[in-house]
Copies of this chain bind each other. A is one copy, B any other.
Amino acid sequence: MISVLSGGVGAARLLAALRRYDEKLELEAIVNVGDDLTLHGLTICPDLDTITYTLAGLHNVDAGWGLAGESWRVMDELAALGGAAWFRLGDRDLATHLYRSQRLAEGATKTDVARELAAHFALGVRVLPATNDVVATMLDTEVGPLSFQEYFVAHHHDVRVTRVRVEAHDARATPEVLASLARARRIIVAPSNPVLSIDPILAVSPLREVLRERRDEVIAVSPLVGGRALKGPADRLLRDLGHRPDSLGVAQLYRDVVGTLVIDEVDAALADDVRELGLRCVVTTTVMADPHDAQRLCEALLA
């Protein structure tokens, strides 16, 4: 059994590749909830939904986000009413948020809802929110403090960030997550944003300690290739925060919780520096541009 610490798109693609690589592999995704938001009375869990939709094959491949065959009637009408339409919620996507919000009102947990959706879509992967408690990733920026989605969507992650504050307070990992990490023969950290996606998982008590103890079995995929993020603001954000915006910077951030870092071939020159930090380093293709590349990455992760 493999546990995968997961943000959104990058993690979803890796999970889909791993499932394709070995259908018998027991896969459990431990998913960031620091991006979750409440809007229009609805509880919205973007990373959980991205993973669910991607594994269900419902994601919009062309757009890189959202659902295929999506329609926008509600959002168009809401915009006409003068409502808050900056966070675009498609009609099909809204059904998920209505479903989750009603189940939470009935006393279900995010874990229950994720299990129900995974069963409905026959994902073949267990999807586990890191916690049922509230975690909020907040950013201090040049335009003031922003919630994750204000930063990411409303400001198109195009503002200078001076600090990231993960407000996890008393958030505790669920029993399902603790059992997953205890049982996993390997723990993969997906190629997600180390600061905005993975750190909000580690901020949930006691996950950082659990990973430290299992460090030898933890293998992370660097989300940076040639000093650039494939998607999202990881490169600029690391730079803004004073980190190296490359796989060595990722190694520095992960060194206490990750035993092995997988970096892309274009960054092979950084491998020795990564090793000097006390991590093993595997050099392979990490981009998953085609099925063959994806297979090579999966082989490296499961070797």
Question: How distant is A167 from chain B, measured CB to nearest CB, in Å?
Answer: 19
Q: Given A40-B98, A78-B98, A116-B82, verify A91-B105 contact (CB < 8 Å).
A: no
Stretch at the interface among A69-77, A179-187, A209-217, A266-274: A69-77
Judge if A147 is at the interface, Cβ distance under 8 Å: no
In the complex formed, the residue of B with least CB distance to A80 is B95
1/0 per residue, CB under 8 A from B, across A70-96: the answer is 010111111011111000000110111
CA–CA, A40 and B73, complex, Å: 18
Say what secondary structure dominates the interface of chain A: helix
B71, B99, B105: the one contacting A38 at CB < 8 Å is B105
Across the interface, A91 reaches (CB within 8 A) one of B41, B42, B91, B117, namely B91
Min CB distance, A195 to chain B, in Å? 28
When each residue 41-72 of chain A gets 1 if its CB lies under 8 Å from chain B and 0 otherwise, what string results? 11100000000000000000000000000010
A83 to B84, CA, bound (A): 25
**Interface extent on A, as a size class?**
20 to 34
Q: Pick the most buried of A71, A75, A77: most chain B CB atoms within 10 A of its CB.
A: A77
> Are A83 and B99 interface neighbours, CB within 8 A?
yes
Q: Looking at the complex, which one of B38, B43, B71, B83 makes contact with A98 (CB distance below 8 Å)?
A: B83
Most buried by B among A94, A95, A102: A95
Q: Which B residue's beta carbon lies closest to that of A41?
A: B101
Q: Smallest distance from the beta carbon of A285 to chain B beta carbons, Å?
A: 37
Given A42-B42, A82-B120, A117-B81, A73 and B91 contact (CB-CB distance below 8 Å): yes
Contacts of A98 in B (CB 8 A): 40-42, 74, 78, 83
Is A39's beta carbon under 8 Å from chain B? yes
Interface string of A166-184 (1 = CB under 8 A from B): 0000000000000000000
> Known pairs A77-B95, A83-B98. 12 more at Cβ < 8 A?
A40-B42, A40-B98, A40-B101, A41-B101, A42-B98, A73-B92, A74-B91, A74-B98, A76-B95, A77-B91, A84-B102, A94-B94
Given contacts A82-B116, A116-B82, A120-B82, is CB(A102)–CB(B71) below 8 Å? no
Query: How far apart are the CA atoms of A74 and B89 in the complex, in Å?
Result: 11
* Nearest chain B CB to A103 CB, angstrom units: 8
Known A-B contacts A38-B105, A42-B40, A42-B41; A95 and B120 likewise in contact (beta carbons under 8 Å): no
Taking CB atoms, residues of chain B closer than 8 Å to A99 are: 40, 78, 81-83
Q: Which residues of B contact A41 (CB under 8 A)?
A: 40-43, 97-98, 101-102, 104-105
Between A and B, 27 residue pairs with Cβ closer than 8 Å are A39-B102, A40-B98, A40-B99, A40-B101, A41-B41, A41-B42, A41-B43, A41-B101, A41-B104, A42-B98, A73-B73, A74-B74, A74-B91, A74-B94, A74-B95, A75-B95, A77-B91, A78-B95, A78-B98, A81-B95, A82-B99, A82-B116, A82-B120, A83-B95, A83-B99, A91-B91, A94-B94
